[in-house]
Chain A
Amino acid sequence: MLSIILQAAAGAGIAKLGGAIGAGMAALAAGFGIGKIGSSAMEAIARQPEAAGDIRANMIIIAALPEAVALFAVIVGLLAVLS
């Protein structure tokens, strides 16, 4: 019974569905995270415009961290679709 279900699931391309949904969720998560970083950076610059350079440098550094994790999820989604 289980093998029949598994075969049906494989035939229906559930792996491709999973990969595509995973990549979409990665984009959602990255947008949410980096948007939060950007918004707090904007607020900090508005509070103290002379620190704009420091804040901008830190924002770029920290933005690379959730971006890396999101791209990691994209790679996993790609692997799910292709194999």
Chain B
Amino acid sequence: MHGKIFKALLLVAFLLSLANIGFASPRTVEESTVDSISMTHESESSEEAEKLNPSEFIFDHVKDAHDWHIMSIGHTPVSIPLPVILYSKSKGLNIFMSSKFEHGHTTFKGFRMETSGENKNKILEEDGTKPLDLSITKNIASMFFGVFIILLIFLSMGKAYRKNPVSAPKGLQSWFEPVVIFIRDDVIKPSIGPKYERYTPYLLTLFFFIWINNMLGLIPIPPAGANLTGNIAVTMVLAVFTFIITNVSGSRDYWKHIFNTPGVPWWLKLPVPIIPLVEALGVITKPVILMIRLFANITAGHIMVMAFILLIYIFAEMSAGLAYGISLISILFNVFLTFLELLVAFIQAFIFTFLSSIYVGLAVADHHEEHQKEHV
């Protein structure tokens, strides 16, 4: 019963963050004094907007943003504004919708959005310092949606299992039970050994979180279609969780193998601890490479899809005929690439879970099994 309330609360949180769906118009009636200034600014930027800048377009869509940009009709951007939550030392807590910034053209309450340079699309105060930015950005709203989908699937599955524990699975259970059994029996149990049940919740959550968010990133319709798992901050958090769980559950043998590796001569350990340093570096490198692997695979996939679509527009600037010609090839290649991205979505989730379970398995390994593995 409380599962339902929690789901409803999450849905309400997500819907509140999208409360102001609407078109963002470049000028309002009250700002007539700013009108003339913004008018010239519009015409200047419209001339720049005519010239397509592929790398800027790609990076704006792969990175996080304070509004959900869907398309631009002429010079008017159509986007869903998202809440901005700022805490600055001088002005305190400020919560407002990002439509107040009007895509970087106006300042609001002493905050402005940068439109170029290294702080592009970030919110700065008037004097250039950065406030503490806790906004619901595009990636966070997409994460709420992904988590809502995951809770919807698994809470209903759990309820069905609790109601009929011995009957054959039907409906949603028949979809997900083979996958859960596969991950538990072929990935988690062989890697961790007899103590696998303690780590199964985390590893299964990791797998489905990464898989479902990867797949949602491939659907271009909001609220799906944000590059969540391609955000290095998100993958860093997942890698940090793996790091914490591995090292907190590390047995004495695990730490002994890192700082006092058996079988290594003493002169590599004592005056200058070369081997302990190398092993400690290994402890840190493993989660870092997990983070980079997921981030690079997903972001590279999104960049490739967008680059091939932009190819049509780049050719269109040269001649219309070329654009029609290239569009067929580009679209066919994009279909193929999207199928490949579906495969990559599953494989990357699987690899992250598999390597995490191997690291946990190495950390909780039993003393006797460890020595048997060493002498192989």
Contacts and interface: CB of A to CB of B under 8 A. Distances in A.
Interface of A: 57, 60-61, 64, 67-68, 71-72, 74-75, 82
A64 B300 contact: no
B347 A68 contact: no
Contact of B292 (A61, A64, A72): A72
Contact of A75 (B292, B347, B348, B350): B292
A60 B347 contact: yes
B347 to A, nearest CB: 6
Interface in B295-312: 296-297, 300
A71 B55 contact: no
Interface residues on B, range: 10 to 19
B293 interface: yes
B55 A68 contact: no
Contacts of A82: 55
A64 B347 contact: yes
Contacts, number: 31
26 contacts: A57-B186, A60-B350, A61-B350, A61-B351, A61-B354, A64-B347, A64-B348, A64-B351, A67-B293, A68-B289, A68-B292, A68-B293, A68-B296, A68-B297, A71-B292, A71-B293, A71-B296, A71-B297, A71-B300, A72-B292, A72-B293, A74-B296, A74-B300, A75-B292, A75-B296, A82-B55
B236 to A, nearest CB: 14
Contacts of B300: 71, 74
Interface string B330-367: 00000000000000000110110010000000000000
Contacts of A68: 289, 292-293, 296-297
Contacts of A64: 293, 347-348, 351
B295 to A, nearest CB: 8
A24 B159 CA distance: 52
A20 to B, nearest CB: 14
Q: Which 9 pairs across A and B sit closest by C-beta, in order of nearness?
A: A71-B296, A68-B293, A64-B351, A75-B296, A72-B292, A71-B300, A71-B297, A64-B347, A72-B296
Nearest to A68: B293
A75 B297 CA distance: 10
Contacts of A61: 350-351, 354
